[in-house]
Structure 1
Amino acid sequence: MNFELSDDIKALQAKVRRFITEEVMPMESDSRQTPHGPTEALRDELVASARKHGLLTLHASQEMGGAGLSHVAKAVIFEEAGYSPLGPTAMNIHAPDEGNVHLMDVVASEEQKERWLRPMVEGKTRSCFAMTEPAPGAGSDPSMLETTAVRDGDDYVINGEKWFITGAKGASFAIIMAKTEDGNATMFLTDTSRPGFIVERLMDVMDSCFTGGHGVVRFENLRVPATNILGELGKGFRYAQIRLAPARLTHCMRWLGAAQRAHDEACQYARTRQSFGKRLGEHQGVGFMLADNEMDMLTTRLSILHCAWVLDKGERGNRESSMAKVISSEAIWRVIDRSVQILGGQGVSSENIVERIFKDARGFRIYDGPNEVHRMSLARKIIAREADKAER
């Protein structure tokens, strides 16, 4: 493994860093930020700025107008974007659109790409991914899928309820996971303007970085043409894996950038704040926290780069992405939590960006599969591997 960056990627990294610092961070105090994320007007302004600087949707394929970044290159660029809570929104690399771009690039038909993918890559539209359901439906266990899709002539009629659907309010289209009559899961594309697609409400959650918030969505006899099936009938769970491994890794990349921002804020405070006759950072308790932050971020960065390297080799990377997700989400949480502690009163006040990062980041240990589920999956694979060894 050689993670030495090419000159092109180094130049792009520097360009993104300047963009975030000069164009995005000054917008962090903009009043058009709500408990349910940036308003559409603020998002549009940020996206226009990224477009002007040639930094919009860089992860998309070149055929769709992106830069076709490798996974290792994304690790570098997405971390830089994550340095501001608004950075991923500005560059159109935030969830769920980022993962949907990757999924549709691989699975969608050419007609579907032109109708739904290209406008999303151009930053003109947003999407949502509707899979998670209230109990007793699918959550951490996708096999509990309750939403149904029944064939009726040339259409499928979809009924069910989803929740925690990120970006649902204001999304132009959705990818819906539903169970067909044979019991298998299928993905469907639909415009959200169709009758029967109902955003019932937005959920009040800790984070506020996703445009469109997290919605409760109901499908009431929603008619979707059979031509809107994404990929092939009955292969929804297989396609979910195409989306989830790279998408959970990009979460790690973005949150690492947020952790770096929190650490930098804590370092600045520790360097300048006087306490008991010396700088705060000269006190061993604070200095040790800063040292632990750097070690946690190095561990996170290396696990991300390793998984990205595996994906760039064309491997599935499910095991590696599970490990990277658990390592990253827990390490960055320690970094952010320590940074809050170092900042003291400022760390729990909206006077400092770290308070916002703290609230935004807590969900990462749950998003894209709770860490306990990833550990359970890894444990099964470990036992299966050891059993295979014993049989040889």
Structure 2
Amino acid sequence: MKVLIIGSGGREHALAWKIAQSDKVSKIYTLPGNAGMGQISERVPGSVTDIKATADFAEKQAIDLTVIGPESPLIIGIVDEFEKRGLTVFGPDKEAAQMEGSKVFTKRLMIDNGIPTAMCEFFDDPDKANAYIDSVAAKSDDPIVIKADGEAAGKGVFINKTKAEAYQAVDIIMKQRAFGASGDRIVIEDYLDGPEASFMFFVDGETFVPMIPAQDYKRAYDDDKGLNTGGMGCYSPVPVLPADLQATVIDTIIKPTLKALKVKSIHYKGVLYCGLALTSKGPKVVEFNARFGDPETQVVLPLLQTDLVDIMLGCARGSLDTVPVNWYNRKAVCVVMASGGYPGDYEKGKVITGIDEAEKTGVIVFHAGTEIKDGKIVTSGGRVLGVTAVGDSYKDCVYKAYAGVNVIDFNNAHFRRDIGARLLTGDR
């Protein structure tokens, strides 16, 4: 069968890498892909948000399965366009993708249905938002969390320790319009204290299957300093989210969320990503996303034993209950290498060396912001590579991942040096 993967990041390279292992797949296309994806697929030029042209290509090439990686095409209805044409596609439709496309929609859904999350207020007026900040700050010294309503590439969340920071966040989102129309409304919510974890689920509209949880590192610098990013590293599984707590999440969050969506006649298909805070009062939802996490995918998929294509077809066709999903009893750690300056301004076009040498050490190098120029692999984005190691202990994985990172070089490369450090207390 022929598979088309939409996207160009590390997540999509991990999807292509896993799908390429399926005996059922004879050809993979990636649109637009990156330098690494081009080694295992045929790259197709195009925009991920040009949904008509993408569907035209899938029809013309008789694609058997299309996999949507990033959120932006999901939010504008790429799945609806494919399904209208009778094409098999993995991902939620436009209505279901509101789970990521609108923080206001999702927060209201949770609050109305008693799903544990932070209490919040919604604002479309910056002056009223600032007045609310004054009232909150007068009652508590806790950080004030401010989120843009719409899609913001993982950068629309501001955790503000002072009133001044909170005012600035409102200004950036609503007045400077850093995220465009995504900042027309904001959510101001209570800060949830506790370790965070990412818990993803395969969903077919009726049945859901949990993946192995992961834990990522959002901040740009060591010790969780600096600005929020799309993610600077990750590991799986997550010791602070054991099986009994996973069962609690499923019973108190996932089941009621999918039920609440069904009441609205939304039958969710694809991946449902649940970002959790493990608070002293139990797990609470930080956010939902409508797709695989990045870099979570780069540690979760290497632990998946079952053919990913079988799972995706089960989700798309409503037959996930017929697919036994199995996992390797191993660990995985991913260290992201980024362009210097990320998540702010950064330079592109830096030649990357050492990838082949790193892979000889046993790591998997997932490309993100890479391109081919004059026959060489060069940087083309903020997050450039994800170096993943799989092993029997976290210690082995951390050591292997950083050994791989240290072989790779490009000008002004930046990576955190503490990915997985919290796991190295004791033999895990």
Q: TM-score, normalised by structure 1?
A: 0.29
Which has more strand, going by share of residues? 2
Which has more helix, going by share of residues? 1
